[in-house]
Structure 1
């Protein structure tokens, strides 16, 4: 299969995932298995784990950039593949927690409340935007189109890093309000 044919195939998959993932996550927020009468185990232990995974993702992304700047393409690829795996693990745990638990309301007041909601909203919006960016950046690398990979990676990296870091910040800010 030619690179162009592979690229077209990947772009269809990227488009589908970029639409399906945010819609599925939004739809799942309206589902709470406990309220629907299912006897599900408490997954209240998950938020600190998926916050930690966000932190690991951020560190991994920085290490990946350092690796490529040193010319270590193989390590760069491995680290970015690991960062994608971390993001996927985060997503699965995040969904599992939210379909089995009531939403936690932020209890801060005053300026901190506005700071929290700014970080939360920007985090959510950018987490939607980075799905096609990450997948497209990865696709170009896999196809060996390093010119386009590097061009899009310059946009993808800071946005993905922001999402990973703000994921940790959001957890730290809301964690005092979790009900266990």
Structure 2
């Protein structure tokens, strides 16, 4: 029992550090432009597709656990974490090699776009500790706590995944390819 408590404390410290470091590093790298590097303008549709795949796999993971397939659930959730990391690497690489694209819509749709974008960004930052903590609870075998936190983590993660696709679809006409 003592070992599990120590493991959980270690996980919590690591989760806190990662949850702070990732947004800070992403924000810092956003201001870095790599000189003499070809823009990676092909990446946005790829990372939008990764967001879409994540949304589908999140639904599949919920289906798997509701049908008692714990191993499939675990594999799907691990895949979603890997996809999220892959998305993050591509997102950073794109923004380090390409100029930001301004949204060109007018009127009400512009406000809708910015609402979706801002909520997507804020919730994606909040999602980092939620996903890591939810995953850690399962890893530690604290399944009741895992289920309780997953009830909050899942809808936020699903929203972030879906709105990632929506944001891409809304801004894609304004990309300079």
The two structures have a TM-score, normalised by structure 1, of 0.96
CA distance in 2, matches of 1:42, 1:108: 24
CA–CA distance in 2 between the matches of 1:73 and 1:142? 12
Question: Aligned-pair RMSD on alpha carbons?
Answer: 0.8
Runs of 4+ in 1 over 4 A off after TM superposition: none
Match runs of 1:88-127 below 5 Å = 88-127=85-124
State yes or no: 1:9 paired with 2:10. yes
Q: Does 1:53 align with 2:43?
A: no
CA distance in 2, matches of 1:30, 1:96: 12
Distance in 1, matches of 2:112 and 2:20, equals 28
TM-score (norm 2): 0.98
Structure 2 residue runs of 5 or longer lacking an equivalent are none
Cα deviations by residue, 1:36-65 (Å, 9 ceiling, x for unpaired): xx2112200000000000000000000000
* Deviation (angstroms), 1:86: 0.4
2:77 pairs with one of 76, 80, 87: 80
Instruction: Give the match for residue 29 of structure 1.
Output: 30
The structure carrying a bigger helix percent of its residues is: 2
Between the aligned partners of 1:32 and 1:101, the Cα distance in structure 2 is 8
